[in-house]
Amino acid sequence: MRISSSGFYQSQLNNITARTEQLHKQLDRLSSGVRVQTAADDPVAMNSIFSYREELKNIEQYGKNIDVAEHRLRREESSLTTGENLLQQSKELLLKANSGVNTQDERDALAVQLKNNIGELLDLANAQDEFGHYIFGGFQNDAEPFVMQPDGQVNYKGDGGQREIQIGASVKVATNHDGRAVFGQVPNPRGDFTASYQLQGSREDNLRIDKAEIDDKSVFSDAASYQISFSDNAGVLEASISYEDENGVIQSSTPQPYTSGQSITAFGIEVAVNGEVKDGDQVTLESNVQNGNGQDYLNAFDSLNRALSWLQKDNNSASGQSELNEVLDELDAVSAHFTRVRADTGNRLVRLDHQRTGHEDMALTLEKVRGGMEDLDYAKATGEFSQTMVALQATQTMFGKVQSMSLFNYI
């Protein structure tokens, strides 16, 4: 078979070009450290690499979401902690004001401090996150959720929404507690009513309502208020419960002998009373919610305003001392509620930490697997590069020698 000179030259040039291209590719891989640069390099590996890259990208986004959630929850936790401190300070102001040696000016100064505490708690309730969103506003997070009225009452303008953020493929975490749940749904320490006192004279053992609950809804009238009246019947102290029905008629229960610590029941409610009573004493049980369930919850700001009202009066009396017990119990209930909400916030933060750790471990695993498929084995690549270089040099040398050969050199 004859091989023409032009065919031979073209074959050698093609061989040199192919070797050169191969050398350039190997040099590019060595400089980039990447073995699979295109799907043509390894179609099967490239498909897996794309999947790992996407999953790593998702993990990175989850990490950013966890950071956002953590910042919001830390802000909420800090607000609740400060709120607990404010409540403790408010209790201390009340106990200090309860001393009989305080002048009116001193009581007025304590009242100013309590007003400041209420203002600080309002600021905490209107706290914002790093984006300017109100933490306790629910979904309505672009306007202040809590607004103080001229009479000192604080109204909630937000809603009950909980914002959630994705922190895993199928995992979400709530980044807030709405203001109604935090500041307006404090479990009532008395049960279903709040108590106020109109007591006669002074006494050593303060009268106290330990429990006021609905125990039989089938006969409960859902009146706005009930009066517990104590009277002396031939030397026996008796208690009766009365209320005004929808027709304006006073309904009264049969008087029951009073024994401290025993419950009084009538009209579907049960009241546990403790302490010394006198003829003519009255206790009013009120419920601001007429829904057949009583007043299960208190409002934190209402409780503080009640404390302020007590502080602004001279309460060195039996009624004032019993009222103080009510106020202190309510503040304790608010503080305990803040603690429960803060504990739930802490649980969410723990969940974020666990999720972050899981993502970090998964990212290391995926990166290792991806690297095994995509990254270059430098030892192997360097050897292949050297072989290709030697082959290219040999091809170029042979081509140069053959190109210079001629029959005329042998004639």
DSSP string, 30-64: HHH-BS--STTT-HHHHHHHHHHHHHHHHHHHHHH
pLDDT confidence of 166, banded at 50, 70, 90?
A: very high
Which amino acid is it at 382? T
Strand ranges (E), 300-407: none
* 391 vs 54 pLDDT, higher one: 54
Number of domains in the chain: 2
Phi, psi of 376 (to 5 degrees): -85, 140
Burial readout 243-276 (b: 16 or more C-beta within 10 A, e: otherwise): beeeeeeeeebebeebeeeebbebbebbbbbebb
Phi, psi of 30 (to 5 degrees): -65, -40
Query: What CATH number is associated with residue 48?
Result: 1.20.1330.10
- Please give the Cα distance from 248 to 243 (Å, whole number): 9
What average pLDDT score do residues 73-91 get?
96
Sign of CA dihedral 369, 373, 374, 377: positive
- Please give the Cα distance from 282 to 313 (Å, whole number): 19
Q: What are 206's two structure tokens?
A: 């303060």
pLDDT, mean over the chain: 84
Is 163 a domain residue? yes
pLDDT confidence of 38, banded at 50, 70, 90?
A: low
pLDDT confidence of 26, banded at 50, 70, 90?
A: low
Helix 318-374 × helix 300-311 angle, to 10° = 150
* 226 vs 410 pLDDT, higher one: 226
Query: Of 31-40, 230-239, 308-317, which has the strongest mean pLDDT?
Result: 230-239
pLDDT digits (tens, 9 = 90+) for 198-223: 999 888 889 999 999 999 988 888 88
Is 57 a domain residue? yes
Instruction: Say what the pLDDT of residue 375 is.
Output: 55
pLDDT confidence of 47, banded at 50, 70, 90?
A: low
Strand ranges (E), 234-369: 236-244, 250-252, 256-257, 263-266, 269-274, 282-286, 297-298
Same domain, 324 and 265: no
The CA distances from residue 73 to 18, 121, 147, 168, 226, in Å, are 61, 18, 23, 17, 42
Domain that holds residue 83: 34-188+302-375
Is 281 a domain residue? yes
Domain boundary (245, 275, 295) is at: 295
Same domain, 281 and 314: no
164 and 172 in contact (C-beta within 8 Å)?
Answer: yes
Query: Of 7-16, 98-107, 159-168, which has the strongest mean pLDDT?
Result: 159-168
Same domain, 201 and 291: yes
Same domain, 160 and 250: no
Same domain, 178 and 217: no
What average pLDDT score do residues 268-279 get?
94
pLDDT digits (tens, 9 = 90+) for 354-404: 999 999 998 888 767 655 555 554 556 565 555 656 555 656 565 555 555
Instruction: Say what the pLDDT of residue 101 is.
Output: 78
Same domain, 204 and 87: no
pLDDT at 328 over 70: yes
pLDDT confidence of 273, banded at 50, 70, 90?
A: very high
pLDDT digits (tens, 9 = 90+) for 107-144: 889 999 999 999 999 999 999 988 899 999 999 989 99
Longest dimension (CA), the chain: 157
Domain boundary (260, 295, 330) is at: 295
For the ranges 71-85, 96-110, 178-192, 292-306, the lowest mean pLDDT is seen at 96-110
Same domain, 242 and 354: no
pLDDT confidence of 288, banded at 50, 70, 90?
A: confident
pLDDT digits (tens, 9 = 90+) for 291-304: 778 889 999 999 99
